[in-house]
């Protein structure tokens, strides 16, 4: 199970077209998925991804999907990824490093996503 979206170039211009609603997203470096994330509370997909962009994480592409149940959908994506790959994406697998993707109010940890 994956996000039904094209991979988009991760830059400020492309982020302008991301919806302002709840959802899930994946971050990529080339062909490697680095992170499965979600929105929380009133934070939108666009806001969440802009926060990651400001963190200067080496991300080349991203995908996104609007959903009214981001916690459940992220949990499903994490479970599916683990089943297929035997591990979680790097930033989900290394919670100490995951903080790089977040500033206060930008989302939940991988443990909260399940």
Q: How far apart are CA 54 and CA 83, in angstroms?
A: 31
Q: How far apart are CA 26 and CA 36, in angstroms?
A: 5
Q: What is the rounded average pLDDT of the residues 76-104?
A: 83
Structure confidence by residue, pLDDT tens digits, 29-62: 999 999 999 999 999 999 999 999 988 788 999 9
- Give CA angle at 24 (23, 27), nearest 5°: 145
Structure tokens at 61: 């592409």
Read off the pLDDT band of 99 (50, 70, 90): low
CATH topology of domain 8-101: GIY-YIG endonuclease (3.40.1440)
Region of residue 41 (left: phi > 0; alpha: psi -120 to 50; beta: else): left
Contacts of 79 by beta carbon, 8 Å cutoff, 6+ apart? 114
Read off the pLDDT band of 102 (50, 70, 90): low
64 with 70: CB under 8 angstroms? no
Could you state, in order of their start, the residue ranges of all structural domains in the chain? 8-101
**Counting beta carbons within 10 angstroms of the beta carbon of residue 13, is it exposed (0 to 12), middle (13 to 18) or buried (19 or more)?**
exposed
Q: How far apart are CA 6 and CA 31, in angstroms?
A: 13
Residue 110 has pLDDT above 60, yes or no: no
Structure confidence by residue, pLDDT tens digits, 2-37: 776 789 999 999 999 999 999 999 999 999 999 999
The per-residue pLDDT for 114 is: 33
């Amino acid at each position: 199970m994956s996000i039904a979206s094209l991979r988009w170039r991760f830059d400020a211009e492309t982020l302008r077209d991301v919806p302002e609603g709840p959802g899930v997203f994946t971050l990529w470096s080339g062909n490697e998925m680095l992170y499965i994330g979600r929105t929380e509370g009133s934070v939108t997909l666009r806001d969440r991804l802009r926060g990651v962009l400001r963190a200067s994480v080496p991300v080349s592409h991203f995908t996104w999907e609007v959903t009214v149940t981001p916690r459940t959908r992220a949990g499903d994506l994490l479970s599916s990824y683990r089943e297929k790959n035997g591990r979680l994406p790097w930033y989900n697998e290394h919670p100490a490093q995951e903080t790089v993707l977040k500033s206060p109010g930008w989302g939940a940890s991988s443990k909260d996503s399940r």
